[in-house]
Every structure is written in structure tokens, then in C-alpha cells.
Amino acid sequence: MTEPDIVPMSRRWLGILKGESALALGERAGRRLFSLVPAQLRCRFCNAPFRGRFAGPFGRVGYTPSRKNPTICERCIERAPEGGALVPVSVLFADVRGYTSLAEELSSVETTALLHRFYAAASSALLAHDAILGQIAGDEVMAIFVPGLAGSSYPRQAVAAARALLRGVGYGTPLGRWLDVGVGICTGEEYVGNVGGGGFKDFTAIGDVTNTAARLQALAAGGEILVCALTYAGVANAYPLAEPLDLQLKGKRATVESFRIRV
């Protein structure tokens, strides 16, 4: 059985994740039609208006900014049908170090306030570099960088977002860090889209790239970004002093060529 028989894949998702050129004729016609509606701000994929005199009627049927990335509408991401496509992607995970100890030392209200501050700093940094926000679970955030949104230099955008995130929690700033955070990034081709079943779906990336990014993040010390070799190839000129590593990642039979970038 081929992979498209296992999971829904479509030209529409290719168009969103890789760029407009892959859109089917109907989607291209829809974009052109929406572009005729006057708007001060519109969805980057379908051209639905977010701001302007006609934004209200569009918003009532779901053409409102997505929580995954406010430059895209919900109809193009959250409210889109299940399905996706195999596309080039960089996946980023960032995690709070020592969270269990923090939770023991602080009250539940204080812990929640600290996590909200972390989520806000992380979201700001990631969205500023054209990420699509993935899952937020406890003390961890995930972000997805695809060519259709972050451009052809999506690995560079992922690393820049990681650096901005670490600076957002205080690394490399005069006041110092207010939270200990490590980051892992991996790049490759993976299935990205709305995944789920039984009435539930969520936008995410699934496969070895995501698993490797999560494993790299687990080994990153506070203030470090661990990246796979393919990610580093896209940013090597900017970070010539990155430390090369051969890491044994959980679940991997062979060591993984990686690089350590510090803020």
C-alpha cells in the first residue's frame, strides 16, 4: 500500500505548505477572487480579508486569523479537512529545564504564571520568524517551518527563531535568563498537515524529523540549540564556530551528526 493510501494528501496542502505554485486551478481562482475584495490585511494563502469593511462577513464563516499563525486564516489551517502532504520542513522543540523542581518550589499559581510568560515569549519569537505553532504541552513548545510560509531559507528561519526565543527568556541579555530552556531542531521531508480521527484533528508534523528534533531538544542544555546536520548546512556560514557532535539519541540505532549552537 502506498503512503497516499494511508493518509489523505492533496494538491491543496502542497499549495499551502510549499507555495502557491502547487495550488490546483480552483484554489488559484479563489485566491484571485478574494484579492479583488479591498482589505488592509489578508490571509497569506487564500487572500481572505482580515481587516477592512468586508472582513466581518468573511470572519463569520471562519476566515479569521489562525492561532497557529495570525497571518493565515483558520479556514486554511484549523478548519481545513484532515490531510496534508510530504514537504520539506524544519521542526523545532523548546523545553524548560528543571521544570519538575520549579513546580515543587513554586505554588501552582506561580508555576502557571511562569509557563504563560514562557509561552508568550516563545510564541512571539517563533511567529516573528514565520513559524506555524505546533503542540504546546506542559513545559514544551513545538514549531514547524515550511517553505510556503517561511520561504526557501526555512532552516535559517528556524535557527533564528530559536535564538530569538532564548534571548526572549534572557540568555545573552544584561539581566540574564529568567528561565532555563534548551532547543532542538531537525530538518528533512515529513508529512505535515491536519492529523486526527474520531472528530479530533490538529495541525502537526509526523515522522522521523519530528522525533529527532524532540530527541535533540532533550539533550540540549539551557541556552543551547542542538541541530541536525541538514539544518546546520543551511546556516553554516552564519555559525562557523558551532561545535560538531555525534550524538546517540534515544531510539536511534546509529549516532546522529549534530551541531551545538550557543546564544
DSSP 47-85: --EEESTTHHHHHHTT-SB-SS-TTSBGGGTTTSPSEEE
Q: Distance between CA atoms of 191 and 117, rounded to whole angstroms? A: 31
The rounded distance, in Å, linking the Cα atoms of 166 and 111 is 19
The whole-number pLDDT of residue 22 equals 53
What local confidence, expressed as pLDDT, does residue 20 receive? 62
Per-residue pLDDT 10s for the chain (263 aa) are 344 444 455 777 888 888 765 556 566 777 788 888 988 899 988 899 999 888 999 999 889 999 999 999 998 888 888 888 999 999 999 999 988 888 899 999 999 999 999 999 999 999 999 999 998 888 899 999 999 999 999 999 999 999 999 999 999 999 999 999 999 999 999 999 998 776 678 899 999 999 999 999 999 999 999 999 999 999 999 999 999 999 999 888 899 999 999 98
CA–CA dist 212, 118 (Å, integer): 23
Taking Cα atoms as reference points, which of 131, 145, 127 lies closest to residue 18?
A: 145
pLDDT of the residue at 140 = 94
Delimiting residues of CATH 3.30.70.1230 domain(s) in the chain: 84-262
Output the pLDDT for position 34. 87
pLDDT at 136: 82
Rg of the chain in Å (alpha carbons): 19
Side chain identity at 138, as an amino acid letter? G
Closest CA to 97 of 140, 60, 142, 62: 140
CATH code for residues 84-262 = 3.30.70.1230
- Record the pTM: 0.91
pLDDT attached to residue 24: 60
Q: Are 41 and 14 in contact (CB under 8 A)?
A: no
